Amino acid sequence: MEVVQSTEILHDFAPRLRVYKDGRIERLLETNTVPPSFDPITRVDSKDVTICPGISTRIYKPDKTSLEKPKLPILIYFHGGAFCLYSASSSIYQNYLNSLVSESGCIAISVDYRLAPEYPMPVCYDDSWVATQWVLSHSNRLGPESWLNELADFDRVFLAGDSAGANIVHDIVIRAESTRFSGIAMIHPFFGDGEVNPLWNYLYPDTIGVLDPRLNPTANPIKMRRQLIGCDRVLVCVGGKDFLRERGMEYYQVLREGQENGEWKGELEFMESKGRGHVYHLYKPECEEAKQLLKRVAQFISNKSASHFLVSLEI
């Protein structure tokens, strides 16, 4: 017997998500997914690796024949999508990571965390933490993934993400208290906009609202600077017309003030793409501003001066 789907909408979070009364979830911005592959244009290879049930990664490495050094900086990347959209296999992220790995010469691990609302937050944070631990467990060269054992430089570990992924980056740095990261790149970070966010409240049932430290870390500037003490360099990128620009600017300003008063001793970089909206670079990678943003993030990762001993985390 044919099952008739409900058309009655229970929650409407357009243009991202709709929830129907029968429990059906409709993702309105879902993109095509693609398998891992060798990309002949960027000469970057990729493969999928399952960490544990429900959590996987897509790993990228540049063509080994073009490498000057036997060990590559590590980039752990967290995709965006309001915690409820996209995946590591989405075509926009496959294309972006291919280009970023080619430009920076790093080995990248794109984390495929489970999405809300099927897996209510904070599952995405916990999955991302497990994936980070898994990557760092290879620092003794005895881990299960050969690409990490053979190619990765665990003295140069970077975290990066866009939108919700940048929010996850901040959470990872806070959890990894005993670990020093060479740097984090926050691309159009999602930290709310000062208003009640119905989608956030729905996806994260246990949130405390606009003052939730995961949603709004700048609400407590002193605590935020102390939490980022294990991060040596921070790059904050915003879009001039991004609806989340102001919170990204606040994140930068809090760290800048920390530099001035000695509460945070890391290096701070900033980039604004004038006239561009939220994560425009994923949808218009050929525009000049997107190319400039890609180069800036790649240069941040390939900077050889940021090298610090990294303490491996236990799983």
Per residue in 9-32, pLDDT (tens digit) is: 999 999 999 999 999 999 998 779
What the chain holds in terms of domains, given with CATH numbers, is 1-30 (no CATH), 31-302 (3.40.50.1820)
- Read off the pTM: 0.93
Cα dihedral across residues 47, 142, 160, 70: positive or negative: negative
- Reading the block at residue 172, the tokens are 């990872």
What confidence category does residue 269 fall into, taking pLDDT thresholds of 50, 70 and 90? Answer: very high
Q: Residue 50: pLDDT above 90?
A: yes
Among all residues, which ones are annotated catalytic? 163, 242, 278
d(C-alpha 179, C-alpha 132), whole Å: 11
**pLDDT tens, position by position, 232-263:** 999 999 999 999 999 999 999 999 999 999 99
pLDDT in tens, 141-185: 999 999 999 999 999 999 999 999 999 999 999 999 878 899 999
What pLDDT, in 10s, does the model give residues 58-96? Answer: 999 998 655 556 799 999 999 999 999 999 999 999 999
pLDDT digits (tens, 9 = 90+) for 205-229: 999 888 899 999 999 999 999 999 8
Rounded Cα distance, 148 and 169, in Å: 20
Residue keyed to tokens 């240069």: 299
pLDDT classification of 309: cutoffs 50, 70, 90: very low
Sheet holding 9-13, edge to edge: 9-13, 17-20, 25-27
